[in-house]
Amino acid sequence: MKKIIIEGNKELSGTIKIGGAKNSVVALIPACILADGELKIKNVPNISDKDALIEILNLLNVKVIEEEGTLLINTQKTENKVINEKLSNKLRASYYFMGALLGKFKKAEVYFPGGCNIGSRPIDLHLKGFEALGAKITKEDCKYIIETKELKGTEIYLDFASVGATINILFAAVKAKGRTIINNAAREVEIENIAKFLNRMGAKIKGAGTERIVIDGVKELHSAAVSVIPDRIEAGTYIIMGALLGKNLIVDGINPNHLKVVLNKLKEMGINLKINKNQVIINKANKLKAVNVRTSVYPGFPTDLGQPMSVLLTQAEGISQFEETIFENRMGHVPNLQKMGAKIEYERQHATFHGPTKLKSAELIATDLRSGAALVTAGLIAEGETIINDADHILRGYERIITKLSDVGAKIKIIEV
């Protein structure tokens, strides 16, 4: 495992370039097997989730050439294989191969997906979608076998606007016979990125980014290219760090429209941001107003920024209320922040912050990707040396985080233990 060590309270000044969105690329990569041909994905972030998915493509005899942020993927000789537990447990997004293999071969055999331990994270909505399209699902210990003679378009109603289920059903429906409608679909911007890629392959998808997506099945999908949209969660994380330590910190290469609710919340706290076309310039705020934060589906406050945002709430003057509404176990950062001196009362997914409290350095444990990002944020403002164990979680979704932060003045390093 890796360990991150931070010498806190260093001003952050300069430019941080944001990479492609993890939550797009983890779906764009499996999507490639739906087409027969040469697929190109540009602006690919250098994160371990991407490497894990390429391993799965290699298992399926898909040729992948990786050139400086671009993936060239040749799917002409794709073979349908069982995706074993070792590979699928590396990340939850391995479940996208269920929809992609089902859509391509009408059969998928995939072990239980891995990913962050932020709750049970069932996949019942994905499976219900596959069944609605005509697939039969059997479970053999930890493996799902999903197959059908024919995928037939139908009207689907998602009980919850699940990002994963929306995308997985898209994959299964693009080559189904007839029309599929997904009602109560997730509206995250990453879904538009994926639908654009599929449409460039020849799919017929309308309404991506809204709660009603209409897919007309086609026979074949062909070569196409797509660019991964900027990572709004990576961007939001660095913007929050800038609110705490920035001196004209430029967070560049982003689409501010994807972060409207977050930028608005920061303004509510009294933070002065300069929002340009593809960047935000941010300065440390002298005084932070207490606010209430409640995560929700897009376009609400993203659950993935709830944890880094919590660090900001420890520095706000007064009482801030925080409510996580998407996952049932996403407060792993709170005991760590309390250990650093933060005054937080919490029960299940609700926390009350009393601020401002000076955070002191400590030895911490990252429980998942975004709690890890919160601990880095806390370590950056704490006096002294903070150690974050199990730092591998963080590398799953933040490309070159050590370099990006060091280049703007942070004293941060990562060591193998």
Q: Which residues are catalytic?
A: 116
List residues bridging with 180 in a β-sheet.
215
Among 303, 336, 349, 386, binds ligand EPZ (CB under 6 A): 303
Nearer to ligand EPZ, 350 or 354 (CB): 350
Among 153, 164, 230, 236, binds ligand EPZ (CB under 6 A): 164
DSSP 369: H
Is 125 a binding residue for ligand EPZ by CB under 6 A? The answer is: yes
Is 160 a binding residue for ligand EPZ by CB under 6 A? The answer is: yes
Distance of CA 375 to the CA centre of its chain: 17
Nearer to ligand EPZ, 337 or 362 (CB): 337
Residues present in the chain in total: 417
Nearer to ligand EPZ, 95 or 290 (CB): 95
Tokens linked to 406 = 């060091």
Distance CA 57, CA 197 (A): 18
Is 23 a binding residue for ligand EPZ by CB under 6 A? The answer is: yes
Distance CA 102, CA 173 (A): 9
Dihedrals φ, ψ of 134, to 5°? Answer: 110, 0
**What is the Cα gyration radius of the chain?**
21
Among 50, 106, 126, 232, binds ligand EPZ (CB under 6 A): 126
Is 370 a binding residue for ligand EPZ by CB under 6 A? The answer is: yes
Among 234, 304, 324, 399, binds ligand EPZ (CB under 6 A): 304
DSSP string, 83-147: B-HHHHTT-GGGGHHHHHHHHHHSEEEEE------SS----HHHHHHHHHTT-EEEEETTEEEEE
Is 399 a binding residue for ligand EPZ by CB under 6 A? The answer is: no
Tokens linked to 282 = 């941010």
Among 51, 67, 124, 268, binds ligand EPZ (CB under 6 A): 124
Is 97 a binding residue for ligand EPZ by CB under 6 A? The answer is: no
Site for ligand EPZ in 378-397 (CB under 6 A): 397
**Applying CB under 6 A, which residues contact ligand EPZ?**
22-23, 26, 92-93, 116, 119, 121-126, 160, 162-165, 186, 188, 303-304, 326-327, 369-370, 397
